[in-house]
Amino acid sequence: MKLKEVLDITIAFFKDKKIETPRLDAELLFAHYLKLERIQLYMKFDQPLQETELAGLRELVRRRVQGEPVAYILGYRDFYGYRFEVNSATLIPRPETEHIVEEVVKWTADKEKPWTMIDLGCGSGCIGLSLLKQLPQARLIAVDLSDKALEVAQRNAQTLEVADRVQFVHSDAGNVDLVMSSFKDFMGQDTVDVLLSNPPYIAANDPSVEENVKKYEPSSALYADEEGLALLKKWSKDYAPYLSSEAVMLMEMGMSQGMAMKSHFENLKIFKSVRVVKDLSGHDRVIYGVKHG
């Protein structure tokens, strides 16, 4: 069978199985397995596929139809223009999380400074490492409770050539003393310019969580108590005293949490301004506090 025939059959099969983005998923899987760019698939439509290739593609299609996310099948996800290794130990980076990176880049745009940063619950490292690529003088402490997630983040740091500017800390982000001790040792100071986090913020009983997310992504990175607000509130409160005189704190949150988190940030009494950043769908997505001395 020729490539186009097999691709068309797969797209139709994905549609029948209610895959949300059937053409995109099929193209990504085919390009990955055949070691082609997606555009090259359409330049090789008449290429016959060998039986071994068909068998390999069938296995990827089977995994996708069973619900396994494309990013885990491929072993990577692109984020903010960079490619990040991911696996079942890490959350899959989402486009809405890029708003954190965008906001920090804008905030630092007119300032020349070797920024000190902490990324709490770093996972694959997509937030903090993307910022190291954007801010050549910055340095980062990246914290995660999962040693397997940190192994992925360390490989991503090597791939992105920023490993010399990041220290990974295997710890619960709630262990402030340990994190700040590591920070002081690495940075040579004890105040943080940029505090970042995409913490667990989903309520345990949230009915809107997709079954495939529940099945494949690490639950420890998804769920929090107090209707998902517990770690958002705790980490922001615990690390607020360590912010420098000119600093920002940005945390991703759920679409229904904007009002509660804006009130919480304001009640910390340290920010000159607090605002909610909305994602491209118009949903509340990032709580953002700016501190000036």
Considering the domain architecture, whether residues 212 and 151 belong to the same structural domain is answered as: yes
Measured between alpha carbons, how far is 11 from 15 in angstroms, rounded to an integer? 6
Beta-sheet strands, E only, within the chain: 76-79, 82-85, 116-120, 139-144, 166-170, 192-197, 243-252, 273-278, 284-291
| Residue 78 annotated as lining a ligand binding site | no
> What pLDDT shows up at residue 204?
85
| Residue 144 annotated as lining a ligand binding site | yes
Once rounded to an integer, what is the mean pLDDT over residues 204-213?
83
| Residue 218 annotated as lining a ligand binding site | no
The answer to whether position 72 is within a domain reads no
Q: Does 29 score more than 80 pLDDT?
A: yes
Considering the domain architecture, whether residues 11 and 151 belong to the same structural domain is answered as: no
pTM (predicted TM-score) = 0.93
pLDDT digit string, tens, across residues 254-278: 999 999 999 999 999 999 999 999 9
| Residue 199 annotated as lining a ligand binding site | yes
Whether 85 and 159 have beta carbons less than 8 Å apart is answered as: yes
> What pLDDT shows up at residue 214?
84
| Residue 121 annotated as lining a ligand binding site | yes
pLDDT interval class at 219 (50, 70, 90)? confident
For residue 268, the enclosing domain spans: 91-291
pLDDT digit string, tens, across residues 221-258: 898 999 999 999 999 999 999 999 999 999 999 999 99
Considering the domain architecture, whether residues 146 and 181 belong to the same structural domain is answered as: yes
The answer to whether position 76 is within a domain reads no
| Residue 124 annotated as lining a ligand binding site | yes
Once rounded to an integer, what is the mean pLDDT over residues 179-195?
97
* 66 Cβ neighbours under 8 A, 6+ residues apart: none
Considering the domain architecture, whether residues 103 and 200 belong to the same structural domain is answered as: yes
* 214 Cβ neighbours under 8 A, 6+ residues apart: none
